[in-house]
Structure 1
Amino acid sequence: MAVVRSTMLCQLNSARLVPFTSRFLSTTTTKEGEDLTVKQDEKKQGWISRFLSGPSYNPDGVDKQSHSSMLADTEVIYELQTHDVRNGEKDKYLDYYKKYSTEVTKATPGNELIGSWNVLFGNQDQSIHLWRYDNGYNDVDHHIKALLHNNSVRSAEKDIASMCGRRRTILLRSFSYWGEVKPRSPTHIYDLRSYVLKPGTMIEWGNAWAKGITYRKEHNQNVAGFFAQVGQLYMVFHIWAYKDMAARQYIRQHTWSKPGWDSTVAYTVPLISRMQSKILVPNEFSHLQ
Protein backbone atom coordinates (compact mmCIF):
# COMPACT_ATOMS: atom_id res chain seq x y z
CA MET A 1 0.00 0.00 0.00
CA ALA A 2 2.85 2.41 0.82
CA VAL A 3 4.36 1.89 -2.65
CA VAL A 4 1.00 2.45 -4.40
CA ARG A 5 0.29 5.60 -2.36
CA SER A 6 3.75 6.98 -3.12
CA THR A 7 3.22 6.32 -6.84
CA MET A 8 -0.16 8.09 -6.79
CA LEU A 9 1.29 11.15 -5.04
CA CYS A 10 4.09 11.40 -7.60
CA GLN A 11 1.57 11.18 -10.45
CA LEU A 12 -0.62 13.90 -8.92
CA ASN A 13 2.31 16.25 -8.37
CA SER A 14 3.57 15.65 -11.91
CA ALA A 15 0.10 16.26 -13.39
CA ARG A 16 -0.20 19.58 -11.54
CA LEU A 17 3.21 20.90 -12.54
CA VAL A 18 3.18 19.74 -16.17
CA PRO A 19 -0.34 18.73 -17.27
CA PHE A 20 0.68 18.54 -20.96
CA THR A 21 3.18 15.81 -20.17
CA SER A 22 1.30 13.94 -17.50
CA ARG A 23 1.68 10.17 -17.31
CA PHE A 24 3.88 9.21 -20.21
CA LEU A 25 3.96 5.62 -18.98
CA SER A 26 1.10 3.81 -17.25
CA THR A 27 1.94 1.07 -14.77
CA THR A 28 -0.42 -1.58 -13.41
CA THR A 29 0.25 -4.36 -10.93
CA THR A 30 -1.03 -7.91 -11.38
CA LYS A 31 -2.27 -10.11 -8.55
CA GLU A 32 1.15 -11.81 -8.54
CA GLY A 33 2.79 -8.42 -7.99
CA GLU A 34 4.38 -8.14 -11.42
CA ASP A 35 4.73 -4.63 -12.87
CA LEU A 36 3.50 -4.26 -16.43
CA THR A 37 4.58 -1.06 -18.23
CA VAL A 38 2.70 0.09 -21.30
CA LYS A 39 4.03 2.82 -23.54
CA GLN A 40 1.56 5.35 -24.87
CA ASP A 41 1.25 6.04 -28.57
CA GLU A 42 4.12 8.27 -29.70
CA LYS A 43 2.61 9.71 -32.87
CA LYS A 44 2.55 13.49 -33.28
CA GLN A 45 -0.51 15.31 -31.93
CA GLY A 46 -2.33 18.50 -32.87
CA TRP A 47 -2.75 21.30 -30.33
CA ILE A 48 -6.28 20.20 -29.36
CA SER A 49 -5.14 16.71 -28.40
CA ARG A 50 -2.11 18.20 -26.60
CA PHE A 51 -4.44 20.27 -24.43
CA LEU A 52 -6.73 17.33 -23.71
CA SER A 53 -4.28 14.51 -23.14
CA GLY A 54 -0.72 15.83 -23.31
CA PRO A 55 1.93 15.48 -26.01
CA SER A 56 3.47 12.20 -27.08
CA TYR A 57 6.66 11.30 -25.26
CA ASN A 58 10.01 10.61 -26.86
CA PRO A 59 12.48 9.22 -24.27
CA ASP A 60 15.40 10.51 -26.34
CA GLY A 61 14.08 14.08 -26.13
CA VAL A 62 13.56 14.51 -29.87
CA ASP A 63 10.02 15.87 -29.50
CA LYS A 64 10.60 18.00 -26.40
CA GLN A 65 8.97 21.43 -26.66
CA SER A 66 9.11 24.67 -24.69
CA HIS A 67 5.94 25.79 -22.96
CA SER A 68 5.73 28.73 -25.37
CA SER A 69 5.65 26.48 -28.44
CA MET A 70 2.93 24.37 -26.83
CA LEU A 71 0.76 27.41 -26.08
CA ALA A 72 1.26 29.34 -29.34
CA ASP A 73 1.14 28.10 -32.93
CA THR A 74 2.75 31.08 -34.73
CA GLU A 75 6.01 33.00 -34.36
CA VAL A 76 4.23 36.38 -34.23
CA ILE A 77 5.34 38.55 -31.31
CA TYR A 78 3.25 41.29 -29.71
CA GLU A 79 4.42 44.23 -27.64
CA LEU A 80 2.16 45.89 -25.08
CA GLN A 81 3.30 49.37 -24.08
CA THR A 82 1.92 51.19 -21.02
CA HIS A 83 2.67 54.91 -20.71
CA ASP A 84 1.78 57.14 -17.76
CA VAL A 85 1.16 60.48 -19.45
CA ARG A 86 1.94 63.69 -17.59
CA ASN A 87 -1.15 65.47 -16.31
CA GLY A 88 -2.61 67.81 -18.93
CA GLU A 89 -0.34 66.59 -21.74
CA LYS A 90 -2.52 63.88 -23.28
CA ASP A 91 -3.36 65.65 -26.56
CA LYS A 92 0.25 66.61 -27.21
CA TYR A 93 1.39 63.13 -26.25
CA LEU A 94 -1.01 61.50 -28.74
CA ASP A 95 0.26 63.76 -31.53
CA TYR A 96 3.80 62.69 -30.70
CA TYR A 97 2.79 59.03 -30.54
CA LYS A 98 1.10 59.12 -33.92
CA LYS A 99 4.31 60.51 -35.42
CA TYR A 100 6.33 57.85 -33.58
CA SER A 101 4.17 55.03 -34.97
CA THR A 102 4.65 56.36 -38.50
CA GLU A 103 8.44 56.48 -38.12
CA VAL A 104 8.60 52.96 -36.61
CA THR A 105 6.49 51.50 -39.42
CA LYS A 106 8.75 53.10 -42.05
CA ALA A 107 11.90 51.83 -40.33
CA THR A 108 10.56 48.31 -39.75
CA PRO A 109 7.76 47.42 -42.22
CA GLY A 110 6.97 44.17 -40.36
CA ASN A 111 5.84 46.17 -37.30
CA GLU A 112 2.24 47.30 -37.04
CA LEU A 113 0.40 49.32 -34.41
CA ILE A 114 -2.92 47.48 -34.15
CA GLY A 115 -4.34 48.85 -30.90
CA SER A 116 -4.04 52.21 -29.15
CA TRP A 117 -6.18 53.24 -26.21
CA ASN A 118 -6.58 55.66 -23.32
CA VAL A 119 -7.54 54.25 -19.94
CA LEU A 120 -11.00 55.45 -18.89
CA PHE A 121 -11.46 53.45 -15.68
CA GLY A 122 -8.39 52.16 -13.88
CA ASN A 123 -5.08 54.03 -13.97
CA GLN A 124 -6.15 57.36 -15.45
CA ASP A 125 -3.78 59.53 -17.50
CA GLN A 126 -2.48 56.28 -18.94
CA SER A 127 -2.23 55.18 -22.57
CA ILE A 128 -1.78 51.61 -23.81
CA HIS A 129 -0.54 50.52 -27.23
CA LEU A 130 -0.41 47.07 -28.85
CA TRP A 131 2.16 46.36 -31.57
CA ARG A 132 2.51 43.26 -33.72
CA TYR A 133 5.82 41.93 -35.09
CA ASP A 134 4.75 39.74 -38.00
CA ASN A 135 8.15 38.08 -38.44
CA GLY A 136 8.64 37.42 -34.76
CA TYR A 137 11.97 38.12 -33.16
CA ASN A 138 13.54 39.03 -36.50
CA ASP A 139 11.32 42.12 -36.55
CA VAL A 140 12.03 42.71 -32.87
CA ASP A 141 15.75 42.81 -33.70
CA HIS A 142 15.12 45.26 -36.54
CA HIS A 143 13.11 47.43 -34.16
CA ILE A 144 15.94 47.42 -31.62
CA LYS A 145 18.38 48.60 -34.32
CA ALA A 146 15.96 51.39 -35.29
CA LEU A 147 15.64 52.52 -31.68
CA LEU A 148 19.41 52.64 -31.36
CA HIS A 149 20.50 53.98 -34.76
CA ASN A 150 17.59 55.48 -36.75
CA ASN A 151 17.62 59.23 -36.08
CA SER A 152 13.95 59.75 -36.99
CA VAL A 153 12.77 56.96 -34.69
CA ARG A 154 15.08 58.12 -31.89
CA SER A 155 13.81 61.70 -32.15
CA ALA A 156 10.15 60.62 -32.13
CA GLU A 157 10.77 58.28 -29.19
CA LYS A 158 12.46 61.11 -27.28
CA ASP A 159 9.40 63.35 -27.79
CA ILE A 160 7.16 60.62 -26.34
CA ALA A 161 9.43 60.15 -23.33
CA SER A 162 9.23 63.86 -22.54
CA MET A 163 5.46 63.53 -22.12
CA CYS A 164 5.56 60.52 -19.78
CA GLY A 165 6.25 60.01 -16.11
CA ARG A 166 6.77 56.28 -16.50
CA ARG A 167 6.83 53.79 -19.36
CA ARG A 168 6.63 49.99 -19.32
CA THR A 169 6.72 47.43 -22.10
CA ILE A 170 6.30 43.67 -22.34
CA LEU A 171 6.75 41.16 -25.18
CA LEU A 172 3.97 38.62 -25.65
CA ARG A 173 2.76 35.69 -27.70
CA SER A 174 -0.84 34.85 -28.48
CA PHE A 175 -2.52 31.71 -27.10
CA SER A 176 -3.30 29.48 -30.09
CA TYR A 177 -6.94 28.98 -29.08
CA TRP A 178 -7.59 32.75 -29.20
CA GLY A 179 -6.29 33.22 -32.72
CA GLU A 180 -4.63 36.37 -34.04
CA VAL A 181 -5.89 39.88 -33.39
CA LYS A 182 -8.18 41.29 -36.10
CA PRO A 183 -9.20 44.93 -36.70
CA ARG A 184 -12.61 46.01 -35.38
CA SER A 185 -14.87 48.72 -36.74
CA PRO A 186 -16.35 51.40 -34.43
CA THR A 187 -17.56 51.63 -31.76
CA HIS A 188 -16.33 49.64 -28.73
CA ILE A 189 -15.02 49.94 -25.25
CA TYR A 190 -12.28 47.47 -24.33
CA ASP A 191 -11.74 45.55 -21.12
CA LEU A 192 -8.04 44.79 -20.57
CA ARG A 193 -7.69 42.15 -17.90
CA SER A 194 -4.23 41.24 -16.62
CA TYR A 195 -3.30 38.26 -14.45
CA VAL A 196 -0.05 37.49 -12.67
CA LEU A 197 0.02 33.72 -12.27
CA LYS A 198 1.81 31.63 -9.70
CA PRO A 199 5.11 30.32 -11.15
CA GLY A 200 4.70 26.94 -12.83
CA THR A 201 0.97 27.29 -13.59
CA MET A 202 0.95 28.67 -17.16
CA ILE A 203 0.24 25.28 -18.74
CA GLU A 204 -2.62 24.67 -16.31
CA TRP A 205 -4.04 28.06 -17.27
CA GLY A 206 -3.79 27.13 -20.94
CA ASN A 207 -5.50 23.80 -20.30
CA ALA A 208 -8.46 25.46 -18.59
CA TRP A 209 -8.89 28.37 -21.02
CA ALA A 210 -8.64 26.20 -24.15
CA LYS A 211 -12.10 25.03 -23.09
CA GLY A 212 -13.17 28.16 -21.21
CA ILE A 213 -12.84 30.44 -24.24
CA THR A 214 -15.70 28.55 -25.93
CA TYR A 215 -18.08 30.09 -23.38
CA ARG A 216 -16.95 33.62 -24.28
CA LYS A 217 -17.32 33.74 -28.07
CA GLU A 218 -21.07 33.98 -28.56
CA HIS A 219 -21.13 37.79 -28.66
CA ASN A 220 -17.81 38.18 -30.51
CA GLN A 221 -16.28 39.91 -27.50
CA ASN A 222 -13.02 37.94 -27.51
CA VAL A 223 -10.26 40.15 -28.96
CA ALA A 224 -6.95 38.70 -27.79
CA GLY A 225 -5.27 36.47 -25.24
CA PHE A 226 -1.53 36.76 -24.58
CA PHE A 227 1.14 35.33 -22.32
CA ALA A 228 4.40 37.06 -21.42
CA GLN A 229 7.77 36.33 -23.01
CA VAL A 230 9.87 39.29 -21.82
CA GLY A 231 9.08 41.57 -18.89
CA GLN A 232 6.88 40.44 -16.00
CA LEU A 233 6.85 36.65 -16.47
CA TYR A 234 3.93 34.33 -15.77
CA MET A 235 1.65 37.16 -16.83
CA VAL A 236 -1.49 36.80 -18.97
CA PHE A 237 -3.53 39.45 -20.75
CA HIS A 238 -7.09 39.06 -22.03
CA ILE A 239 -8.70 41.80 -24.13
CA TRP A 240 -12.48 41.91 -24.56
CA ALA A 241 -14.60 44.28 -26.68
CA TYR A 242 -18.13 45.47 -25.87
CA LYS A 243 -20.52 47.96 -27.40
CA ASP A 244 -20.76 49.81 -24.10
CA MET A 245 -20.66 49.18 -20.34
CA ALA A 246 -24.29 48.04 -20.26
CA ALA A 247 -23.52 45.42 -22.93
CA ARG A 248 -20.49 44.33 -20.92
CA GLN A 249 -22.65 43.76 -17.86
CA TYR A 250 -25.28 41.80 -19.81
CA ILE A 251 -22.76 39.57 -21.63
CA ARG A 252 -20.86 38.75 -18.45
CA GLN A 253 -24.07 37.80 -16.64
CA HIS A 254 -25.18 35.72 -19.62
CA THR A 255 -21.88 33.84 -19.57
CA TRP A 256 -22.42 32.83 -15.96
CA SER A 257 -25.71 31.18 -16.95
CA LYS A 258 -23.85 28.70 -19.19
CA PRO A 259 -23.18 25.30 -17.58
CA GLY A 260 -19.43 24.75 -17.33
CA TRP A 261 -18.23 28.36 -17.17
CA ASP A 262 -18.24 28.29 -13.36
CA SER A 263 -15.87 25.30 -13.51
CA THR A 264 -13.36 27.30 -15.59
CA VAL A 265 -13.42 30.12 -13.05
CA ALA A 266 -13.19 27.76 -10.07
CA TYR A 267 -10.15 26.04 -11.59
CA THR A 268 -8.24 29.15 -12.68
CA VAL A 269 -8.75 31.47 -9.70
CA PRO A 270 -6.34 29.49 -7.44
CA LEU A 271 -3.64 29.92 -10.12
CA ILE A 272 -3.70 33.74 -9.83
CA SER A 273 -1.46 35.84 -7.61
CA ARG A 274 -2.77 39.21 -8.75
CA MET A 275 -5.34 40.49 -11.25
CA GLN A 276 -6.54 43.81 -12.63
CA SER A 277 -9.14 45.20 -15.03
CA LYS A 278 -8.96 48.44 -17.02
CA ILE A 279 -11.61 49.93 -19.29
CA LEU A 280 -10.11 51.43 -22.43
CA VAL A 281 -11.35 53.72 -25.21
CA PRO A 282 -9.59 53.62 -28.60
CA ASN A 283 -7.59 56.49 -30.05
CA GLU A 284 -8.53 57.68 -33.52
CA PHE A 285 -5.50 55.98 -35.16
CA SER A 286 -6.14 52.57 -33.55
CA HIS A 287 -7.08 49.62 -35.80
CA LEU A 288 -9.18 48.29 -32.95
CA GLN A 289 -12.08 50.74 -32.72
Structure 2
Amino acid sequence: MSMQKFGNLLSTASRFAGPLNQARLLAASSETSLLSKILHGLPYDADKAANQSHSSLLSDNARIYEIVSHKTKCGEMSAYMSAYENYINVTQKLNPSVELFGSWNVAYGDQDQVVHLLKYNEGYTDVDKMIQANAFNSEVKAAASEVGKLCSRRKAILTKAFSYWGDPKPRDSSHIYDMRRYILKPGTILEWGNAWSKGITFRKDFQQDVGGFFVQTGQLYVVYHFWAYKGMTERNEIRKKTWSKPGWDQTVAYTVPLLKEMKSQILIPTALSKLK
Protein backbone atom coordinates (compact mmCIF):
# COMPACT_ATOMS: atom_id res chain seq x y z
CA MET A 1 0.00 0.00 0.00
CA SER A 2 1.42 3.39 -0.97
CA MET A 3 1.66 6.20 1.57
CA GLN A 4 -0.82 8.21 -0.54
CA LYS A 5 -3.39 5.42 -0.38
CA PHE A 6 -2.68 4.96 3.31
CA GLY A 7 -3.31 8.67 3.86
CA ASN A 8 -6.55 8.50 1.90
CA LEU A 9 -7.65 5.55 4.01
CA LEU A 10 -7.02 7.49 7.19
CA SER A 11 -8.93 10.46 5.82
CA THR A 12 -11.91 8.25 5.01
CA ALA A 13 -11.76 6.71 8.47
CA SER A 14 -11.76 10.16 10.01
CA ARG A 15 -14.89 11.25 8.14
CA PHE A 16 -16.92 8.13 8.79
CA ALA A 17 -15.55 6.64 12.01
CA GLY A 18 -14.24 9.64 13.93
CA PRO A 19 -10.87 10.31 15.56
CA LEU A 20 -10.88 7.24 17.81
CA ASN A 21 -11.25 4.72 15.00
CA GLN A 22 -8.74 6.62 12.88
CA ALA A 23 -6.19 6.33 15.67
CA ARG A 24 -6.92 2.60 15.98
CA LEU A 25 -6.49 2.14 12.25
CA LEU A 26 -3.16 3.93 12.43
CA ALA A 27 -1.93 1.80 15.33
CA ALA A 28 -3.06 -1.42 13.66
CA SER A 29 -1.50 -0.91 10.22
CA SER A 30 0.78 -3.84 9.44
CA GLU A 31 2.55 -2.14 6.55
CA THR A 32 3.49 1.28 7.92
CA SER A 33 3.63 2.14 11.60
CA LEU A 34 3.78 5.89 12.06
CA LEU A 35 3.81 5.24 15.79
CA SER A 36 7.04 3.24 15.60
CA LYS A 37 8.68 5.81 13.35
CA ILE A 38 7.64 8.71 15.56
CA LEU A 39 8.73 7.06 18.79
CA HIS A 40 11.89 5.29 17.65
CA GLY A 41 12.65 6.20 14.04
CA LEU A 42 12.86 2.47 13.27
CA PRO A 43 11.28 0.31 10.56
CA TYR A 44 8.15 -1.45 11.70
CA ASP A 45 8.10 -5.24 11.91
CA ALA A 46 4.51 -6.44 12.39
CA ASP A 47 5.51 -9.93 13.53
CA LYS A 48 7.99 -8.57 16.05
CA ALA A 49 5.57 -5.92 17.31
CA ALA A 50 2.93 -8.56 17.95
CA ASN A 51 5.29 -10.11 20.49
CA GLN A 52 6.33 -6.84 22.17
CA SER A 53 4.78 -5.29 25.24
CA HIS A 54 3.26 -1.84 25.00
CA SER A 55 5.95 -0.61 27.39
CA SER A 56 8.75 -1.56 25.01
CA LEU A 57 7.01 0.27 22.17
CA LEU A 58 6.41 3.44 24.19
CA SER A 59 9.66 3.73 26.16
CA ASP A 60 13.20 3.42 24.84
CA ASN A 61 15.19 2.90 28.06
CA ALA A 62 15.17 0.82 31.24
CA ARG A 63 14.72 3.68 33.71
CA ILE A 64 11.77 3.49 36.09
CA TYR A 65 10.04 6.39 37.83
CA GLU A 66 8.11 5.95 41.06
CA ILE A 67 5.30 8.40 41.79
CA VAL A 68 4.62 8.51 45.52
CA SER A 69 1.55 10.13 47.06
CA HIS A 70 1.41 10.63 50.82
CA LYS A 71 -1.58 12.07 52.65
CA THR A 72 -0.11 13.58 55.81
CA LYS A 73 -1.91 13.97 59.11
CA CYS A 74 -3.21 17.49 59.72
CA GLY A 75 -0.59 19.68 61.36
CA GLU A 76 2.24 17.19 60.78
CA MET A 77 3.64 18.45 57.48
CA SER A 78 6.89 19.81 58.93
CA ALA A 79 7.59 16.64 60.90
CA TYR A 80 6.70 14.54 57.87
CA MET A 81 9.14 16.38 55.59
CA SER A 82 11.95 15.87 58.10
CA ALA A 83 11.13 12.17 58.39
CA TYR A 84 10.93 11.71 54.62
CA GLU A 85 14.24 13.52 54.08
CA ASN A 86 15.84 11.12 56.55
CA TYR A 87 14.29 8.14 54.75
CA ILE A 88 15.70 9.34 51.41
CA ASN A 89 19.16 9.90 52.92
CA VAL A 90 19.17 6.39 54.39
CA THR A 91 18.06 4.68 51.18
CA GLN A 92 20.49 6.61 48.98
CA LYS A 93 23.41 5.43 51.08
CA LEU A 94 22.42 1.88 50.19
CA ASN A 95 21.49 2.54 46.58
CA PRO A 96 22.90 5.80 45.15
CA SER A 97 21.40 5.19 41.70
CA VAL A 98 17.92 5.85 43.09
CA GLU A 99 17.37 9.60 43.37
CA LEU A 100 14.56 11.81 44.59
CA PHE A 101 13.96 13.97 41.53
CA GLY A 102 10.75 15.81 42.29
CA SER A 103 8.98 16.63 45.55
CA TRP A 104 5.88 18.79 45.90
CA ASN A 105 3.13 19.90 48.25
CA VAL A 106 -0.36 20.00 46.75
CA ALA A 107 -1.64 23.59 46.64
CA TYR A 108 -4.91 22.95 44.79
CA GLY A 109 -6.35 19.46 44.83
CA ASP A 110 -6.08 16.94 47.66
CA GLN A 111 -4.99 18.96 50.69
CA ASP A 112 -2.25 17.85 53.12
CA GLN A 113 -0.82 15.73 50.31
CA VAL A 114 2.80 15.41 49.19
CA VAL A 115 3.86 14.00 45.82
CA HIS A 116 7.36 12.64 45.20
CA LEU A 117 8.98 11.53 41.94
CA LEU A 118 11.84 9.04 42.35
CA LYS A 119 14.11 8.04 39.49
CA TYR A 120 15.48 4.48 39.31
CA ASN A 121 18.43 4.87 36.97
CA GLU A 122 19.11 1.13 36.83
CA GLY A 123 15.48 0.28 36.24
CA TYR A 124 14.03 -2.83 37.83
CA THR A 125 17.42 -3.76 39.26
CA ASP A 126 17.08 -0.72 41.51
CA VAL A 127 13.45 -1.57 42.23
CA ASP A 128 14.43 -5.04 43.44
CA LYS A 129 17.12 -3.57 45.68
CA MET A 130 14.61 -1.16 47.21
CA ILE A 131 12.11 -3.95 47.82
CA GLN A 132 14.76 -5.89 49.69
CA ALA A 133 15.91 -2.84 51.66
CA ASN A 134 12.38 -1.89 52.72
CA ALA A 135 11.65 -5.47 53.76
CA PHE A 136 14.86 -6.48 55.52
CA ASN A 137 17.18 -3.54 56.25
CA SER A 138 16.60 -2.42 59.83
CA GLU A 139 17.72 1.19 59.26
CA VAL A 140 15.49 1.60 56.20
CA LYS A 141 12.55 -0.04 57.98
CA ALA A 142 12.94 2.30 60.95
CA ALA A 143 13.09 5.38 58.72
CA ALA A 144 10.06 4.22 56.73
CA SER A 145 8.15 3.60 59.95
CA GLU A 146 8.70 7.19 61.06
CA VAL A 147 7.30 8.42 57.75
CA GLY A 148 4.32 6.09 58.02
CA LYS A 149 3.38 7.34 61.48
CA LEU A 150 2.82 10.82 60.04
CA CYS A 151 0.62 9.69 57.13
CA SER A 152 -3.05 8.80 56.96
CA ARG A 153 -2.78 7.28 53.48
CA ARG A 154 0.10 6.25 51.22
CA LYS A 155 0.32 5.22 47.58
CA ALA A 156 3.26 4.31 45.34
CA ILE A 157 3.20 3.34 41.67
CA LEU A 158 5.93 2.48 39.18
CA THR A 159 5.94 4.18 35.80
CA LYS A 160 8.03 4.58 32.67
CA ALA A 161 8.64 7.78 30.72
CA PHE A 162 7.27 8.11 27.19
CA SER A 163 10.25 8.09 24.82
CA TYR A 164 8.98 11.05 22.78
CA TRP A 165 8.80 13.14 25.96
CA GLY A 166 12.21 12.22 27.35
CA ASP A 167 13.44 12.25 30.93
CA PRO A 168 12.74 15.22 33.22
CA LYS A 169 15.51 17.77 33.58
CA PRO A 170 16.24 19.75 36.77
CA ARG A 171 14.76 23.25 36.94
CA ASP A 172 16.44 25.96 38.98
CA SER A 173 13.99 28.86 39.09
CA SER A 174 10.71 28.89 40.96
CA HIS A 175 7.73 27.17 39.30
CA ILE A 176 4.34 25.80 40.04
CA TYR A 177 3.57 22.39 38.58
CA ASP A 178 0.40 21.04 37.03
CA MET A 179 0.17 17.27 37.57
CA ARG A 180 -2.42 15.76 35.27
CA ARG A 181 -3.64 12.21 35.66
CA TYR A 182 -5.50 10.54 32.81
CA ILE A 183 -7.31 7.22 33.16
CA LEU A 184 -7.60 5.69 29.70
CA LYS A 185 -9.93 3.11 28.28
CA PRO A 186 -8.22 -0.32 28.32
CA GLY A 187 -6.34 -1.05 25.12
CA THR A 188 -5.82 2.58 24.07
CA ILE A 189 -2.33 3.37 25.39
CA LEU A 190 -0.69 3.06 21.95
CA GLU A 191 -3.26 5.41 20.45
CA TRP A 192 -2.59 7.89 23.24
CA GLY A 193 1.15 7.65 22.63
CA ASN A 194 0.70 8.14 18.90
CA ALA A 195 -1.44 11.26 19.34
CA TRP A 196 0.78 12.82 22.00
CA SER A 197 4.02 12.13 20.14
CA LYS A 198 2.76 14.79 17.76
CA GLY A 199 0.80 16.83 20.30
CA ILE A 200 3.82 17.42 22.55
CA THR A 201 5.40 19.52 19.79
CA PHE A 202 2.71 22.16 20.37
CA ARG A 203 3.66 22.43 24.04
CA LYS A 204 7.47 22.65 23.81
CA ASP A 205 7.70 26.25 22.58
CA PHE A 206 7.00 27.57 26.06
CA GLN A 207 9.29 25.02 27.77
CA GLN A 208 6.66 24.00 30.27
CA ASP A 209 6.86 20.27 29.43
CA VAL A 210 8.40 18.37 32.35
CA GLY A 211 7.57 14.70 31.90
CA GLY A 212 5.05 12.18 30.69
CA PHE A 213 4.71 8.74 32.32
CA PHE A 214 2.59 5.64 31.89
CA VAL A 215 1.84 3.33 34.80
CA GLN A 216 3.37 -0.13 35.25
CA THR A 217 1.77 -1.16 38.57
CA GLY A 218 -1.56 -0.61 40.28
CA GLN A 219 -4.40 0.66 38.10
CA LEU A 220 -3.22 0.26 34.52
CA TYR A 221 -3.84 2.44 31.48
CA VAL A 222 -3.11 5.51 33.59
CA VAL A 223 -0.94 8.36 32.31
CA TYR A 224 0.65 11.26 34.19
CA HIS A 225 1.74 14.54 32.59
CA PHE A 226 3.74 17.15 34.52
CA TRP A 227 3.87 20.79 33.35
CA ALA A 228 5.82 23.71 34.84
CA TYR A 229 4.77 27.37 34.87
CA LYS A 230 6.03 30.55 36.52
CA GLY A 231 2.61 30.95 38.10
CA MET A 232 -1.10 30.49 37.55
CA THR A 233 -1.26 33.61 35.37
CA GLU A 234 1.36 32.22 33.00
CA ARG A 235 -0.40 28.85 33.02
CA ASN A 236 -3.61 30.51 31.88
CA GLU A 237 -1.85 32.53 29.17
CA ILE A 238 0.15 29.60 27.78
CA ARG A 239 -2.88 27.35 27.62
CA LYS A 240 -4.71 30.03 25.61
CA LYS A 241 -1.75 30.40 23.24
CA THR A 242 -1.59 26.64 22.73
CA TRP A 243 -5.19 26.56 21.57
CA SER A 244 -4.35 29.17 18.93
CA LYS A 245 -1.81 26.83 17.29
CA PRO A 246 -3.10 25.00 14.20
CA GLY A 247 -3.15 21.28 14.90
CA TRP A 248 -3.49 21.34 18.69
CA ASP A 249 -7.25 20.89 18.39
CA GLN A 250 -6.60 17.66 16.48
CA THR A 251 -4.57 16.28 19.39
CA VAL A 252 -7.50 16.98 21.70
CA ALA A 253 -9.93 15.43 19.20
CA TYR A 254 -7.85 12.24 19.08
CA THR A 255 -7.30 11.86 22.81
CA VAL A 256 -10.60 12.86 24.43
CA PRO A 257 -12.41 9.74 23.13
CA LEU A 258 -9.70 7.60 24.75
CA LEU A 259 -10.38 8.96 28.25
CA LYS A 260 -12.42 7.61 31.13
CA GLU A 261 -11.33 10.21 33.69
CA MET A 262 -8.91 13.11 34.10
CA LYS A 263 -7.66 15.12 37.07
CA SER A 264 -5.43 18.16 37.61
CA GLN A 265 -3.58 19.16 40.77
CA ILE A 266 -1.39 22.23 41.28
CA LEU A 267 1.88 21.47 43.06
CA ILE A 268 4.48 23.60 44.85
CA PRO A 269 8.09 22.28 45.08
CA THR A 270 9.48 21.33 48.48
CA ALA A 271 13.06 22.00 49.54
CA LEU A 272 13.95 18.43 48.52
CA SER A 273 12.93 18.82 44.88
CA LYS A 274 15.32 19.07 41.93
CA LEU A 275 12.38 20.44 39.98
CA LYS A 276 12.13 23.92 41.50
For 1:55, the aligned partner's letter is: Y
Is the 2:37–2:43 Cα contact (8 Å) retained in structure 1? no
User: What is the CA-CA distance between 1:51 and the residue it aligns to?
Assistant: 7.9
Sort the Cα spacing of 1:283 and 1:262 in 2 relative to 1 into closer, same or farther, 3 A.
same
User: What is the CA-CA distance between 1:134 and the residue it aligns to?
Assistant: 0.4
* Superposed CA RMSD: 2.5
Is the 1:19–1:54 Cα contact (8 Å) retained in structure 2? no
The yes-or-no answer on 1:237 pairing with 2:224 is yes
What pairs up with 1:92-171 in 2 under 5 angstroms? 92-171=79-158
User: What is the CA-CA distance between 1:223 and the residue it aligns to?
Assistant: 0.2
Greater Cα radius of gyration, structure 1 or 2: 1
Partner of 2:4: none
Sort the Cα spacing of 1:241 and 1:45 in 2 relative to 1 into closer, same or farther, 3 A.
closer
Kindly provide the CA deviation profile for residues 13-52 of structure 1, in whole angstroms up to 9, marking residues without a partner as x: 99765743x232xxxxxxxxxxxxxxx58xx999435689
Sort the Cα spacing of 1:46 and 1:259 in 2 relative to 1 into closer, same or farther, 3 A.
closer
Partner of 2:209: 222
User: What is the CA-CA distance between 1:110 and the residue it aligns to?
Assistant: 1.4
Sort the Cα spacing of 1:145 and 1:67 in 2 relative to 1 into closer, same or farther, 3 A.
same
Partner of 2:55: 68
User: What is the CA-CA distance between 1:145 and the residue it aligns to?
Assistant: 0.6
| Number of aligned residues | 260
For 1:266, the aligned partner's letter is: A
Kindly provide the CA deviation profile for residues 208-259 of structure 1, in whole angstroms up to 9, marking residues without a partner as x: 0000000000111000000000111000000000001101011000000000
For 1:247, the aligned partner's letter is: E
Which structure ranks higher in relative contact order (CA pairs < 8 Å, sequence separation ≥ 6)? Answer: 2
Is the 1:192–1:240 Cα contact (8 Å) retained in structure 2? yes
Cα distance in 1 for partners of 2:186, 2:144 equals 34
For 1:146, the aligned partner's letter is: A
Sort the Cα spacing of 1:74 and 1:48 in 2 relative to 1 into closer, same or farther, 3 A.
same
Cα distance in 1 for partners of 2:29, 2:105 equals 47
Partner of 1:262: 249
Unaligned runs of 5+ in 2: 1-11
Sort the Cα spacing of 1:18 and 1:180 in 2 relative to 1 into closer, same or farther, 3 A.
farther
Partner of 1:55: 44
Cα distance in 2 for partners of 1:258, 1:16 equals 21
Cα distance in 2 for partners of 1:114, 1:203 equals 27
TM-score (normalised: structure 1): 0.84
Cα distance in 2 for partners of 1:153, 1:232 equals 27
Is the 1:17–1:200 Cα contact (8 Å) retained in structure 2? no
Cα distance in 1 for partners of 2:89, 2:25 equals 43
Sort the Cα spacing of 1:200 and 1:51 in 2 relative to 1 into closer, same or farther, 3 A.
farther
Sort the Cα spacing of 1:17 and 1:228 in 2 relative to 1 into closer, same or farther, 3 A.
same
Q: Secondary structure at the match of 2:164?
A: coil
Unaligned runs of 5+ in 1: 1-7, 25-39
Which structure shows the higher helix fraction? Answer: 2
